């Protein structure tokens, strides 16, 4: 039996789909759309001079909900119904690492609003979480592609989406124009939503 076959799909289903599909793909799609709403709302936060506004409250609520949805998505993709990575321990650990890294970096970003000068130690910690997120996503994407629990678009969605979203994020981080940053981060959210959507109706490898 080849290493590819060892990642065989575990037939735990919700209706006609594996359990990770609605829970993982659905949560990722919802999380990305909520993050898109938060990103657009944040543009208006940047136009204010104080955090004591309804706009910041709305942004915060959306942003924090998106974090929860992303964590749910990664854990579901790792474990629900055998997971999109099949029996691969490395794949499951990578998705958990993605969840931890994502939650960490997003929470630190949100807390930066409450500092006049962001502590250097938190900058270092944020960098650690960013690296953890990308490593987790890359490794999970490779395992999904090699494992072939899914085929078609879903097989490559995480790897390709990661590259495209990463390009948008890198350019956005280098820009000082609020409109440019918002547009690029919004595109990144749409890409992430597309990854989630591809997992909702995946083409599954024949057992």
Question: What range does the domain containing 132 cover?
Answer: 16-204
Structure tokens at 188: 């990144």
Q: Tens digit of pLDDT for each residue in 91-139? A: 999 999 999 999 999 999 999 988 888 888 888 999 999 999 999 999 9
Per the structure, the count of domains in the chain is: 1
Is residue 65 in a domain? yes
What integer pLDDT is reported at residue 5 of this predicted model? Answer: 36
In a domain, 26, yes or no: yes
Residue 27 belongs to some domain of the structure:
yes
pLDDT of residue 24: 93
- Residues whose CB falls within 8 Å of the CB of residue 115, separated by 6 or more in sequence, listed in order: none
Q: Is 8 inside any structural domain? A: no
Tokens 């490593």 sit on residue: 135
Handedness of CA 188, 193, 196, 198 (dihedral sign): negative
Helix locations, the chain, DSSP H = 20, 26-45, 54-79, 89-111, 120-147, 153-174, 178-200
Residue 79 falls inside a structural domain: yes
Report if residue 4 sits inside a domain.
no
Three-state SS at 152: coil
Mean pLDDT of the chain, nearest integer: 87
10-residue mean pLDDT profile of the chain (207 residues): values are 38 63 94 97 86 87 97 95 90 96 95 86 91 94 88 89 91 92 96 93 65
How many C-beta atoms lie closer than 10 Å to residue 108's C-beta? 18
* Phi, psi (degrees; rounded to nearest 5) at 68: -60, -45
State residue 172's pLDDT score: 92
Contact 188, 168 (CB under 8 A): yes
3-class secondary-structure state, position 88: coil
Residues 6+ apart with CB under 8 A from 61: none
pLDDT at 203: 67
pTM (two decimals): 0.86
């Amino acid at each position: 039996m080849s290493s590819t076959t060892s990642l065989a799909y575990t037939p735990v289903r919700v209706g006609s789909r594996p359990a990770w599909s609605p829970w993982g793909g659905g949560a990722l799609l919802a999380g990305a759309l909520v993050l898109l709403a938060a990103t657009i709302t944040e543009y208006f936060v940047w136009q204010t001079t104080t955090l004591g506004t309804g706009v910041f409250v709305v942004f915060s609520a959306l942003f924090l909900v998106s974090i929860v949805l992303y964590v749910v998505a990664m854990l579901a993709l790792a474990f629900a119904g055998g997971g999109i990575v099949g029996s691969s321990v490395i794949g499951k650990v990578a998705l958990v690492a993605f969840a931890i890294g994502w939650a960490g970096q997003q929470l630190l970003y949100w807390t930066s609003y409450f500092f006049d000068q962001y502590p250097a130690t938190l900058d270092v910690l944020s960098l650690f979480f960013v690296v953890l997120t990308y490593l987790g996503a890359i490794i999970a994407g490779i395992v999904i592609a090699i494992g072939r629990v899914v085929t078609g678009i879903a097989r490559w969605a995480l790897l390709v989406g990661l590259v495209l979203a990463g390009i948008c994020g890198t350019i956005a981080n280098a820009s000082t124009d609020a409109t440019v940053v918002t547009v690029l981060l919004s595109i990144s959210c749409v890409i992430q939503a597309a990854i989630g959507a591809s997992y909702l109706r995946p083409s599954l490898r024949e057992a």
